[in-house]
Structure 1
Amino acid sequence: MPNRIKVFLGAYLNQTNAQNLNCLSLAKYLDKSKFEIYALEINHGNLGRLSIDGVNTFNCIYPVKLTQWLGFFWGIHKSDVAYLPRGNNFKLQRLLVKIYKRKSFKTVENVIDAESLKTALSVLGTVQRARENYSFTTKTFSITSFMRRYNRERHGIISEDLILPPVIDTALFNEIGFVRKSINRIVFLGNDMKRKRVNDFVHLSKLYPSIKFLIIGKDRGYLENILSSGSYNNLTYLGMLTHSILLEKLKECDLHILTSKSEGFPKGIIECAAAGIPSLVFNDYGAEEWIQNWENGVVCETLEDMEQAIKKLIETPGLMSQCSKGAIELSEQYGVKKVVSLYEKVIEDLYAS
C-alpha cells in the first residue's frame, strides 16, 4: 500500500489510562489503507501484549525510564505525523519533533482546575512547564469546548477552534446495549478514587439499601480505609477488571454515577451510554455540553441533587427508560468511527501542510 501516512501514537497501547486508551482505539480504527501506525507498549502493561493488524509497536522493557526514551526516538523518527498526548518527557518529545522536523499534534484532556493542577504539577513541576507541554506541537486541540475556554482564560493555554473528542471504543459497549427500565444496580467507574470522591458514592449506597452498588477500578488504599470502617451489605468493590469481565458486569448495571468534580471528558460516561446506562454527574467541568437533564442523564450541582435524582428516576414511570434511550443516542454522537474520522482529517491536513 504505497503513499500511506506514517503516524506515531505516543502512548502505551496496553496500559489502562485515558491517553493510552485513546491511542489504542486510534490504533484499531485508523484506516490502514491510508495510515501506517507506530506506537508504544509497556512490558508490564495490564492489557498484556497486543497484536493489531497494521500496527507496529515498540515494547518498553525494564528499565522503562530508558526504553521509553528509545521508543519516542523510534516512533518520531519513523513518523510523518506524531500524536503526542502524554506529558511525560515532553522536553524530549519537543526536541525530537524539532530535530526530525515532524508535524505533530496534542490533545488537552483536563480542565486544569485546582484539583487536576496537583496532578499536572506532580508530572511537570510548574505551571509554566505545563503551558510549555501544550505549546510545542504543530497543533493543540481540546477535547471539550468548556475545557478550551477554561484553560485559555485561567492558564493561557491556546488550542484550536476544532474540538477533538476522545476516541472511545463505543462498538464494544454497543454489543451489550439495551434500554434500562428500572434501577437495580448502580456502578462507579474510576481509578483515582480519592480525587473522584468515591466517598460520596459510598454515602449514596447507604441511602438506598435495596439497590446494589458496584465500584470498579484501581484503589490505592483510600477506598479500603473507608470500607473497613463500617458495614456495607449492598456495596461491592470489584477492583480492576479486564474488558471482557467489565462488559459482563455492565450488562447487570442500570445507572452510572460519577462523583468526581474534576474531570475532562470522562470516557466512562460514553462507554456506559453506549450500553444504555445513563449517568449522574456533577456540573463542575462542563458536562452540560453533552448531557441534557432527564433526556440522556442528569447533571447535578450538589450531592443532595444526586440523592434526589436517584429518587426521581426510581419513582417516575418511564423516566429511566427515557434516559436510557437518550444515553444510547448520546453515545452515537461520539461513535468511534465518527470521531476517528476527525483525527484522520487532522493527520491528513498536517501531513499536507
Structure 2
Amino acid sequence: MKKKKVFIWGLINYNWSLDINAANMARALDKEKYKVYSMVTTTLPYESIPGVTYFKRRYPDKIWKFICLLRACLICKTALIYRMGEFRVYWWLFKLFRLKTISVLGLTSSIFNREYPRVTSLHALSEVMREECKELGIPIKEKVLINPIRTEPFHQIRKVRTGVLKDIIFIGHDFERKGIDDVIFVAQNTEQLHFHVVGGYMDHQINLKKKLKQGGLTDSFTLYGSLEQPKLLEVVDKCQLHILPSRKEGRPKVAIEAAAAGLPSILYEGYGAEEYIENGQNGFVVKTREQLLEKVRLLQYEEGLLKEMSEKTERLYKKFDLREIVKDYEQLIDSL
C-alpha cells in the first residue's frame, strides 16, 4: 500500500504548546500508513523521530521557512496545521498546490474569521467551543478533535498524592490570560502553601515579581520560567495540586498531564472543562476566585480528600489515550 504523505506544520523541537502538539502527532501517526514530514529549527537541538523527515529551518528564518513550506507543498498532499499564525501568511501557497489542510481551533475569536475559511477541515477542541464558533460564523466541523497528549513521561512519576497540601503548581506562558492574579489571591488568603509557577513571557515574569514583592509574597512563590520536560517533571513531582484559573482555554493538556502524574486540578468553567473533569472526584470546576480559594482550603484541611482525588485522576488521563486520539485524525486524513 502506498503511504500517504502528511506534513505537520510545527517546529517540533520548540518548547511551545502548539509545537509540542505537533511533535506528539509526528510521533503517533501510523508510520505503516503515512510518510510524515515536519520542521525543526537548527537554532535548537533536536532528536530523530523514527519515520519522520525534517525540513530544517536555518537562519535567516523567514527565507528558510518559505523554502521548507514550499518543499512540503511539492511533496505532501495533506497538512496538519499547528502554527496558525504562519498559515495566515502562507495559506496561498498551500492553496496554489491544492493541499488539504486540517486544523484544531485553540481559542475562538471573530478577528480570525477571515482566515479560517481557508482551512479545508477546521475542528474545535470542545463542544462548548464548537457552539461558540457557530455563533461567530466560523465554519467549524461537527466532529470535536482533541490535541495529541503524550502522558507517558508524566505517568512515570505518577504517585498518589497524600498528606497535607503544601505545594501547588501553575503552568502557562500568558500569565494575565491564564489567571495569575487569581493565584495571587489564593496565596494572599491561605497559609503554609507554596506556589510553583512554570512558564511566563519575560515581561510577564518581571511584572509578577513586582506584584509578589509589593504583596509580601516573594517567599511563597518559586518562579522557574520556561522548562524543558525533564526539569518540568521534577517540579511536578514536588507538587500535590495543579490550578489553572483561566477563563479562556481550548482543552488544557496540562490538566491531563497533571492527572497522569497523580495531581488533581482546579479549573474554571465556561470553556468545556466540565466535559472531562469529574467535579469533586478528580478535580474541581469552579466559577469564581472565591470558589477557587474555598476548594484549595478544602483540600488543605479536609483529611483524606487529597488522597481520594489523587487516586481518581487515573480515570481522567486514561480518557485521553494518545493512540485513540490520533485514530480520529487518521480517519480524517484518509477521508480528504
TM-score scaled by structure 1?
A: 0.89
Instruction: Quote the residue 2:226 is aligned against.
Output: 240
Farther off after superposition, 91-100 or 65-74: 91-100
Out of 185, 201, 213, the residue aligned to residue 203 of structure 1 is 185
Residue 178 (1) aligns with residue 162 (2): no
**3-state SS of paired residue (2:38):** strand
Letter in 2 for 1:338: E
| Aligned-residue offset at 1:269 | 0.8
Farther off after superposition, 90-99 or 65-74: 90-99
CA contact (8 A) 2:268 2:287 kept: yes
| Structure-2 separation of matches of 1:68 and 1:88 | 13
1:273–1:293 distance in 2 versus 1, CA, 3 Å: same
1:111–1:295 distance in 2 versus 1, CA, 3 Å: farther
Letter in 2 for 1:100: F
| Structure-1 separation of matches of 2:189 and 2:43 | 40
Q: How does 1:146-185 map to 2 (within 5 A)?
A: 146-153=128-135, 155-182=136-163, 183-185=165-167
Letter in 2 for 1:227: L
| Aligned-residue offset at 1:91 | 4.7
| Aligned-residue offset at 1:98 | 2.3
Instruction: Quote the residue 1:14 is aligned against.
Output: 13
| Structure-1 separation of matches of 2:331 and 2:62 | 33
Instruction: Quote the residue 2:194 is aligned against.
Output: 212
Instruction: Quote the residue 2:29 is aligned against.
Output: 30
Residue 133 (1) aligns with residue 133 (2): no
| Aligned-residue offset at 1:51 | 1.5
Instruction: Quote the residue 2:249 is aligned against.
Output: 263
Farther off after superposition, 166-175 or 212-221: 212-221
Give the length in aligned residue pairs.
331
**3-state SS of paired residue (2:175):** coil
| Structure-1 separation of matches of 2:162 and 2:195 | 17
| Aligned-residue offset at 1:223 | 1.5
Query: What whole-Å deviation, never above 9, does each CA across 1:288-329 have from its counterpart, x for those lacking one?
Result: 111121111101111100111011122333322232122221
| Aligned-residue offset at 1:33 | 1.4
Instruction: Quote the residue 1:50 is aligned against.
Output: 47
Farther off after superposition, 179-188 or 91-100: 91-100
Q: Which runs of 5+ in 1 are unaligned?
A: 118-126
Instruction: Quote the residue 2:328 is aligned against.
Output: 342
| Structure-1 separation of matches of 2:43 and 2:183 | 31
CA contact (8 A) 2:185 2:289 kept: no
Letter in 1 for 2:80: Y
**3-state SS of paired residue (2:274):** helix
Query: What whole-Å deviation, never above 9, does each CA across 1:202-248 have from its counterpart, x for those lacking one?
Result: 22123333122111113323212223324322221111111011111
| Aligned-residue offset at 1:146 | 0.6
Instruction: Quote the residue 1:226 is aligned against.
Output: 211
Farther off after superposition, 93-102 or 182-191: 93-102
| Aligned-residue offset at 1:133 | 2.0
Letter in 1 for 2:286: C
Q: Which runs of 5+ in 2 are unaligned?
A: none
| Structure-2 separation of matches of 1:277 and 1:344 | 31
Instruction: Quote the residue 2:315 is aligned against.
Output: 329
Letter in 2 for 1:179: V
Alignment identity in percent? 29
CA contact (8 A) 1:40 1:57 kept: yes
CA contact (8 A) 2:263 2:313 kept: yes
TM-score scaled by structure 2?
A: 0.93
